[in-house]
Structure 1
């Protein structure tokens, strides 16, 4: 039996297997060094954004696996994977509260360190967007294979696996939208950007994206079903 005082068994850098597996020496060296820092809040800013990239990496991976499960005709596992992606974006949204601790003066002071960087350049978000679009196309293929359109989809029991998957997709859309709302509010509060409609305001672009949906036809179908009206064809891609 392995003793508690045994040394590390994994290859890599670090004094313990935990450090080697988690690559903590590399991870904790990814922030700017003290001699590089322009403003003390750069650490807060980098930690918040770097951890966001990690959560988005996970979200994109879960969405990608969900696409594979849908293509394999397995809606229930795909729904569970979407639940993970949804929670990842929820955590990303919650940690915006850390950035809200910055004052506009603090943010202006650290901006020179950012160069021309913008959150719109986030590789994690771009991967997540691409995975969401693939998810939409996979769902369309799946409905076509089952000969189900959106009219009959929302006529099914809520416990039906296909219905549950559709609702998970709607929840994913909603969670991303809430993230955008919080991001917009943060830009106004900390970035001192103008309100909606202010010419040249970066917050204006964020505001325009709040109502974007990856699966608009699903939203239309569920609303139309509630009203008892027609929903039309399934076309989510």
Structure 2
């Protein structure tokens, strides 16, 4: 008996896969060949558009983690942070595609980018906001339960609050590595060496922390 593959979901597309994933819309979001001034615009857009999708997911996981912490459920928040961190690791890994974009090709396609900058990324702004909310929620949770940050490292490593703190540090590190790697790639395909000002900027990217108090507590626990 022949199986009926006709779609049952509403929307555009010849199959339910196309309708659910909205592939017609998704694959139409890149500039068409006749619109491009350089063929590597497709590479550039695919990397950055997929980055926005991963950041959207990461921000959603962080937002849910904040809600779980507010609800007094740190154990439920910890795996959400792990998922967000994995998303940023994948964002970092895909920057390897830019190894195949030469400075000359990037310069040729730059007019198509206008005045666009990665600093304008809506996904990054959402991630920043959600990370700050998480930091405040975690601090409030510690205060509400009478937990001193200085003693957190000495608690049972299987304690949900300890595990959440470790996940927050992992998230912080993943974001820092992504930002530093992104900046190095920008220097590479921009075709110029890091000046003193650029080196200072890179140092700030590497040194940025959403949760500096957690890092300080780790250092103090080792020194103590």
TM-score tier, shorter chain, comes to over 0.9
- TM-score of the pair, normalised by structure 1: 0.91
Q: Which residue of structure 2 aligns with residue 176 of structure 1?
A: 175
CA deviation vs aligned residue, 1:180-234 (integer Å, no higher than 9, x gap)? 1211220121112331414xx5x75344222100000100001111111xxxxxx
After superposition, residues 1-237 of structure 1 pair within 5 angstroms as 4-198=3-197, 205-228=201-224
Is the CA contact (8 Å cut-off) linking 1:196 and 1:207 kept in structure 2?
no
Is the CA contact (8 Å cut-off) linking 1:195 and 1:204 kept in structure 2?
no
Unpaired stretches in structure 1, ≥5 consecutive residues: 229-237
Unpaired stretches in structure 2, ≥5 consecutive residues: none
Query: Greater shift after overlay, 119-128 or 207-216?
Result: 207-216
- TM-score of the pair, normalised by structure 2: 0.96
Is the CA contact (8 Å cut-off) linking 1:187 and 1:193 kept in structure 2?
no
Is the CA contact (8 Å cut-off) linking 1:166 and 1:218 kept in structure 2?
yes
CA deviation vs aligned residue, 1:9-45 (integer Å, no higher than 9, x gap)? 0011100000000000000000001111010000000
CA distance in 1, matches of 2:192, 2:139: 39
* Distance 1:13-1:206 versus aligned 2 partners, 3 A rule: farther
CA distance in 1, matches of 2:98, 2:18: 28
Aligned-residue CA RMSD (Å) = 1.5
- Higher-helix-fraction structure: 2
Number of aligned pairs?
Answer: 224
Question: Which stretches of structure 1, 4 residues or more, deviate above 4 A after TM superposition?
Answer: none
